[in-house]
Structure 1
Amino acid sequence: MIVVSAASGALGRLVVRQLLTRVPADRVVAVVRQPARAAELAALGVAVRHGDYDDPASLRSAFRDAERLLLISSPELAPDRRIGHHLAALEAATANGVRAIAYTSFLGADRDGSGMNAAHHVTERAIIESGIAYAMLRNPFYSEAFLNAGLRAAAASGTLTSGTGGRGLNTALRADLAAAAVRVLTDDAYLGRGYNLTGPLWTYPQLAEVLSDATGKRIDYHEATDETPGPMGFLMGLARSGALERQTEDLTRLLGRPPATLRQAVAGALSET
């Protein structure tokens, strides 16, 4: 049995759907906090079970008969609470004799245990020390966080703005990251190591060119002169510092093909907005 935790989230839903192209529905379990809101998953023929990171007993019940677990990281941002969630899931996996865990970590968590990687770093170490076979899926930021919002507005105004200083971003689409997770969940050959997943490097000036081609309208790129407020400002700052330019071939190896290009990602984003 393959169990997917936090399966009602955007990534989890994609993983469940892609798993069904490889294994029968009766071998897949979707663990969600609110089963009543997971009718879409139940309609696929998979078992939907209640499992709440804040309720360790529910996780022990939800993980019964699990052979493999995709531990999708908790959405909680406070490191202490997030670590508690992950350790509760690991305890439940151990209690149920789970044979292998794939964990959605974050790029750089193997190197750095501070800041936003603090909980991921601790969780990785705990999984390794548990003795359970593992695969660490160190995801980058999702391309959707940068592309999906604002493309149509940029097309309408003819101007695309960012505060990235023209530096590169190594983001990847959720669909590609879900496919990578499915690969390690269904093939033992990929267990026993961490994967540093990056998509093809792109820049906002390149995005303006691709958007121009996609819309048939000239889109000019401008560098922001003021700080972008909120979470996007934080992401822009990371990009401007060069922190999002790391590149590896791990995602390509797991997919057996190149991850989506910027042009493909833009086409997908425009079709959804």
Structure 2
Amino acid sequence: MIVVSAASGALGRLVVERLLSRVPAKDLAVAVRSPDSVAALAARGVEIRRGDYDDPATLTSAFARADRLLLISSPELDPARRIGHHRAALDAAREAGVGAVVYTSFLDADTKPDGLTEAHHVTEQALRDSGLNHTVLRHPFYSEAFLNPGLRTAVAEGELWDGTDGRGINTASRADLAEAAARVLTEDGHLGRSYDFTGTLWTYPELAEVLTQLYGEPVRIRQRAEPAAGIQGWLELQIRSGALERRTEDLGRVLGRAPTALRQAVRELTSTDGS
């Protein structure tokens, strides 16, 4: 039995779909806060269980009979609360006798114990100390944070604002990361390993070229003189520092193919109708 936690989220739903193409529905269960949110999966034969990170008492039964558990990290942004969620999940996994845990961590969590990676760093250590068989999947930023239907505004205006100084960005699509997770959950040879996933490195000038080619309208780079507001400005600062230029081959090796290229990702992720 494979159990997927937080299966009602964007990544979780994609993982479940990939798993359904690899294993019978009867061998799959999902643990979610609100079972009604995934009622359609029950109709397909997937077992629905209530498993709420904020209600640790629900987790042991949610993880019962799991040969492999995909522990998708808590969406909680506060590190202390997120760590609490993860510790409770690992305690429940031990109590439930889970065969192996696959945990979705974040890139560089093994070496950076603070900031964005703090909760993941602590969780990886707790996982090592738990005695549970496990695999760690360290994710980069999702491509969807940058490549989405909002880019149609740049096409319409003919300008793509750029605050990255042309530095490289190593995002990966949720679809690729979901496929990788499904493979790790269903294939042999992954236990005891930690994977550092990155996608195909790309830049904003390359993105402008791809938008021009795909939509048939010239899109030019316009350098931003002042930092963008909010999270976008923070992301641009990280990119300008070179923090997102790390590249590994791990994702391609697990997928058995190259990660989705920029042109394909833009075509898929900027579509507003799914076409």
Class of the TM-score when normalised by the shorter of the 2 chains: over 0.9
Aligned: 1:106 with 2:106: yes
Deviates more, 1:142-151 or 1:172-181: 142-151
Taking only aligned residues, the RMSD between alpha carbons, in angstroms, comes to: 1.0
Other-structure match for 2:156: 156
1:187-246 residue CA offsets vs partner (Å, 9 max, x unmatched): 230111110000010000100000000001110011111111111211111111110000
- Contact residue 154 and residue 160 of structure 2 kept, 8 A: yes
SS at match of 1:105: strand
User: Counterparts of 2:257 and 2:271 in 1: how far apart (Å)?
Assistant: 23
2:149 touches 2:271 (CA, 8 Å); kept in 1? no
TM-score computed with the length of structure 2 as normaliser: 0.97
Equivalent position of 1:176 in the other structure = 176
1:240 aligns with 2:244: no
| Alpha-carbon distance in structure 1 between the residues aligned to 2:41 and 2:257 | 27
Contact 2:102 2:185 in 1 (8 A): yes
Partner residue in 2 for 1:77: 77
Task: Give the 4+ runs in structure 1 shifted more than 6 A.
Answer: none
Q: Secondary structure at the match of 1:147?
A: coil
- Asked if 1:3 corresponds to 2:12, the answer is no
Matched position secondary structure for 2:103: strand
* TM alignment of 1:118-137, pairs within 5 A: 118-137=118-137
In the TM superposition, residue 149 of structure 1 has moved relative to its aligned partner by: 4.6
Q: Residues 38-93 of structure 1, C-alpha deviation per residue, up to 9 Å, x if partnerless? A: 12332332111111001111011111111110000001011110000001000110
1:63, 1:171 → 2: CA distance? 31
2:150·2:270 contact (CA, 8 Å) conserved in 1? no
The aligned counterpart of 1:47 is: 47
Shift of 1:128: 1.2
Paired residues of 2:143 and 2:171 also in contact (CA < 8 A): yes
Q: In structure 1, what is the Cα distance between the partners aligned to 2:42 and 2:160?
A: 41
Moved more, 58-67 or 210-219: 58-67
Q: Which amino acid aligns with 1:6?
A: A
Tell me if the contact between 1:101 and 1:135 (Cα under 8 Å) persists in the aligned partners: yes
Deviations, residues 175-194 of structure 1 (Å, cap 9, x unaligned): 00001111111123011111
2:88 is the counterpart of 1:63: no
Instruction: Look up the match of 2:91.
Output: 91
Unaligned runs of 5+ in 1: none
Deviates more, 1:179-188 or 1:210-219: 179-188
Question: Separation in 1 of the partners of 2:68 and 2:57?
Answer: 19
On the 8 A contact 2:149/2:272 being kept in 1, the answer is no
Structure 2: how far apart are the matches of 1:264 and 1:215?
13
Q: Is the 8 A contact 1:13 1:41 kept in 2?
A: no
Q: Are the counterparts in 1 of residues 149 and 270 from structure 2 also a CA contact under 8 Å?
A: no
- Contact 2:28/2:47, CA 8 A, preserved across alignment: yes
CA distance in 2, matches of 1:202, 1:267: 15
The aligned counterpart of 2:14 is: 14
Tell me, yes or no, if structure 1 residue 270 matches structure 2 residue 270: yes
Identity of paired residues, percent? 61
Structure 1 length as normaliser, TM-score? Answer: 0.98
Deviation at 1:130, TM superposition (A): 1.2
Distance 1:35 1:212 in 2: 43
Q: Secondary structure at the match of 1:272?
A: coil
What is aligned with 1:258? Answer: 258
CA contact (8 A) 1:138 1:194 kept: yes
